[in-house]
Amino acid sequence: MAVYTEVSDDDLAAFVAAYDIGDVVSFKGIAEGVENSNYLLATTKARFILTLYEKRVDKGDLPFFLGLMEHLAERGITCPLPVKARDGEALRTLCGRPAAVVTFLDGVSVKKPTPAHCAELGRALGQLHAAGEGFSIRRPNALSVSGWRPLADAAKGRSDVVQSGLDAEIAAELDVLERAFAKLDLPAGVIHADLFPNNVLFLGDRLSGLIDFYFACDDAYAYDVAVCLNSWCFEPDQSFNVTKGRALLEAYHAARPLSDAEIDALPTLARGSAIRFLLTRLVDWLDTPAGALVKKLDPLEYFRKLRFHQQAGSAADYGWRG
Ligand SMILES: Nc1ncnc2c1ncn2[C@@H]1O[C@H](COP(=O)(O)OP(=O)(O)O)[C@@H](O)[C@H]1O
Ligand SMILES: N[C@@H](CCOP(=O)(O)O)C(=O)O
């Protein structure tokens, strides 16, 4: 579920009256999603997504997220465009929460990505990175290497209920990654940071839109590539599909060429990305009360991916041909 805040008909009517988006035809909560309350809002003019930003979103970050979507949409990226109310403001308040209306994108997310989907994704990611250049607001990645130890500490002493010995494995991995990340000096800019298949829409085999920019931040571009290798190229049996990896990397490289340093760093970045999602899932797993309506995501999926990356010697293990 992702409707934490219920909006009454009266609240909705008062909210929509501030915009020039037509009259409400229908209004329905969207089940998918984890972080925020999302509604599909249809009006006499068009369809929109109304989002109420929930507790985990820092209100101070909203100008970054909304400004970024506007910046990218202006540069040809098919992403939600924040809709301004008559007073010129896109960020408003509804039911005591920060809220915004964005344009609705057609398409569906794929459950089983093919190499063709991975190529589409790689190309779109390269274009996204190029289009983000020149965006003026900065947002450091709170979930990069300096954020991992605090997450591990939050789970410490409890993670063995998920898997015996996990605390020690995480601590040892963080020792390695903190040293390895300190040595990296890679091209950086705006990244999506959560471009999993559920955040990419397709019409047939053609990518039709990118959504959910609420983890976007400044970090190494190749880290975003590593997030996608993790989320798009593993099979359900947890084997890495090099054909998908190659399709993703080659399409990305055609849109935004990867430097030798970025290619060499891929195994380290993939390990980092694996521990990031392992840790956030682990903390959520441990902290989400039994019976909560939110679907808990399996932390061990990312532990198994981490194991693969620990064995990876070079980018060739991800399908890179040079
Ligand atoms: N602009 C959009 N156009 C079409 N569907 C959208 C749009 N934004 C969100 N959705 C739908 O809402 C769901 C949840 O949105 P998402 O931004 O991923 O939520 P959360 O940040 O809470 O995880 C998506 O899976 C998608 O089905
Ligand atoms: N992609 C993250 C969870 C974040 O969910 P989203 O619905 O905001 O994309 C994970 O898989 O751990």
For residue 258, how far is its CA from the centre of ligand 2 (angstroms)? 26
End-to-end CA distance of the chain: 43
d(CA 285, CA 296) in angstroms, rounded, equals: 6
Spacing, Cα 268 to ligand 1 middle (Å): 30
CATH class of the 9-103 domain in this structure: alpha beta
**What's the 275 CA to ligand 2 centre distance in angstroms?**
14
What does the pLDDT profile of the chain (322 residues) look like in tens digits?
A: 578 899 999 999 999 999 999 999 999 999 887 789 999 999 999 999 999 999 888 999 999 999 999 999 999 999 999 999 999 999 999 999 999 999 999 999 999 999 999 999 999 999 999 999 999 999 999 999 999 999 999 999 999 999 999 999 999 999 999 999 999 999 999 999 999 999 999 999 999 999 999 999 999 999 999 999 999 999 999 999 999 999 999 999 999 999 999 999 999 999 999 999 999 999 999 998 776 667 789 999 999 999 999 999 999 999 999 7
Please work out whether the CB of residue 199 comes within 6 Å of at least one atom of ligand 1.
yes
Which residues make Cβ contacts (< 8 Å) with residue 299, sequence separation at least 6? 162, 278, 279, 281, 282, 285
Please name the residue whose Cα sits nearest to atom 4 of ligand 2: 34
pLDDT of residue 98: 96
H helix runs in 60-103, sequence order = 62-74
The residue assigned the tokens 């100008």 is 63
Q: Single out the residue of 219, 208, 140 nearest to residue 181, CA to CA.
A: 219
Predicted local confidence at residue 293, as pLDDT: 65
Residue bearing the CA closest to ligand 1, atom 17: 212
> Ligand 1: distance of its center to the CA of 315 in Å?
32
- Residue closest via CA to ligand 2's atom 5 equals 34
Ligand found nearest the CA of 5:
1
Q: Is the CB of 208 under 6 A from ligand 2?
A: no
**317's tokens:** 């293990």
CA of 87 to the centre of ligand 2 (A): 33
194 Cβ inside 6 Å of ligand 1: no
Ligand 2 centroid distance, CA of 22 (Å): 32
* Every domain of the chain and the residues it spans: 9-103, 115-318
Kindly calculate the radius of gyration of the chain based on its CA atoms and give it in whole angstroms.
Answer: 20
CB-ligand 2 contact for 252 (6 Å cutoff): no
If you ran DSSP here, which 8-state letter would residue 288 be given? S
ipTM: 0.96
> For ligand 2, what atom is nearest to the CA of residue 194?
1
Q: How far is the CA of 194 from the centre of ligand 1 (A)?
A: 13
The amino acid at 52: L
Burial 153-188 (b: 16+ CB within 10 A, else e): eebeeebeebeeebbebbeebbeebeebbeebebee
Question: How far apart (Å, rounded) are the C-alpha atoms in residues 275 and 279?
Answer: 6
- Distance of alpha carbon 225 from alpha carbon 171, whole angstroms: 25
CB of residue 296 inside a 6 A radius of ligand 2:
no
Please tell me if the CB atom of residue 224 comes closer than 6 angstroms to any atom of ligand 2: no
User: Which atom of ligand 2 lies closest to the CA of 302?
Assistant: 12
CATH of domain 115-318: 3.90.1200.10
The β-bridge relationship of strands 97-103 and 47-52 is: antiparallel
